[in-house]
Structure 1
């Protein structure tokens, strides 16, 4: 799930708790995916970090890094379930469960633990879709290195680049569903599934509509929405309860028992596959005003199923627990975003664009690099 605002939350806690401190020791666990796919090893990471002082913590979209007293600097990406936990402060953006509060240290699924003497920081990742790499460059040149240089501007720190004129040219230069364009990190850094849905809801734009069919007025509204949603979400460090009133995600995120097929006002919410991800759409607000990709018809649009009550200790209870897991999988697919996706496929020449159709075009994976996910997707999850 970590997108631009959740990563900003971690950067905030890293600045608060780590900057100015020297790493006394490092514990690592070898992982040929999390380290190996990023071109390094856990032992190399340990050697590179031990004894160094943390100078700063920085971010570009979904990537973040520690500026060390000397290179190399650790550049990290959370994937779908990665996170940084601190031994002396809770970093979560939701209310942790009792089990999480009582969790032993080091936490489960840890990949490294940095010991600063007065506290520790651990990188955890259950599904192993995160990445930890070492970048041997000057601190001021980090954004000029791969993979940061291949990613688009960050809506919060690159406002001078991501202007209305820049966005207009970007949209007009491509013919892809607008949601897929937003998810592609080569275009804009940091927008994942929930940020994309919120942005399009605020802009009143349907996620399936081709990017080059948006009017000047729609592009202006989209630009305002991108800046508003990203800046506001980062400003509250991804905490749902503090999102502005009227946000779609303030209602949809969290509370598994909530009916997510309608807004409190009664407006219907439908769920579509766009850009390889499940998208929440409010049809009464987000109307199609131009051509859309033509892979599926509107009769395939489905409302998210409502959770059913279950009785523990019975067959119904077992069924209920299984249903709960399925619901969690569906929420993961809707609100978590992985960049480990295959490149978008081009439409066949004889496939005509029509109105009222849904796209299955997938966003590109990390630019210039092969797709790193080795697992198969099942029920909205990845297994590596």
Structure 2
């Protein structure tokens, strides 16, 4: 294998490229990215960068010297436009063709948008730069979507002195991800900081003066940030023969087709630890999956290892540090196992069937989740892991 192409120059793609070199691959290694910037970290965009604490240079995933040492054929600012597995070629938007013997797809996701006037989204460095310039005292920001990204952005904008209105269609923000009780407690923090949180409202479109709700009301704002989820960047794979369904569908080894692997936010793979197909949009998973895909691409078929991670994510909102391990969605039960919800210092555990599948902590030290992480990793039974409550 003398030519490997990695499409996507963010956390997953860079981790894949570094792993290929670390594992001894010394052939041509092409890293393709649609943005003109060198690989950078995205989570700080809604936090340290948006507040102005960090500048662009502090977002870099690696110093330039370390990137140079990888000996990459770096193609930045040119998106992938087509994949042709029969001839093993990736076609770029500029018309050039890049041949490969092995391929790792890590093209990530893009924000969903709303009809009407263009609104802010928060995915790229350029998105964050534009929004940052529009925040501050006296500015009115409407955030559509109170998921983790919307909640973080609302918290940051509020701290900068902006007047923030946070709109959410669900009755309780984040309930689908973390449970109703936890979602309600996290939402309370917005109200205490003066953010105008409104739930159960549907936004029809973005207008010149704010947003139009489904009932005809206009919520006014100087700026509108849409944070209503994302779509995997898979359109360029149309006609490639790869299976696409809410992401690039892979097996447990992250393989999508012969010699083609996927990693990061757009990869939907079978995770044997939870016996479920999943797609994870978390920074830690992106890096781990990029490494796993690279190793499996280089390995002999019998030496490949299933990618069976214990997902981890974190979020910073106001003075709350939120951390979680496992797969929290589609849970059957949530139980408080330490601390107190009302004090916003607690650990909750999640059950699916008869198994412990996740744990989330708010306002607790990292060691508070250590035993839960281990229990999830060994597929502990719920009755053994969670004490019976009176």
Q: TM exceeds 0.5?
A: no
- Please state which band the TM-score falls in when normalised by the shorter chain: under 0.3
Higher RCO (CA-CA < 8 Å; seq separation 6+): 1
Given the two structures, how large is their TM-score scaled by the length of structure 2? 0.28
Q: TM-score when scaled to structure 1? A: 0.28
The structure carrying a bigger strand percent of its residues is 2
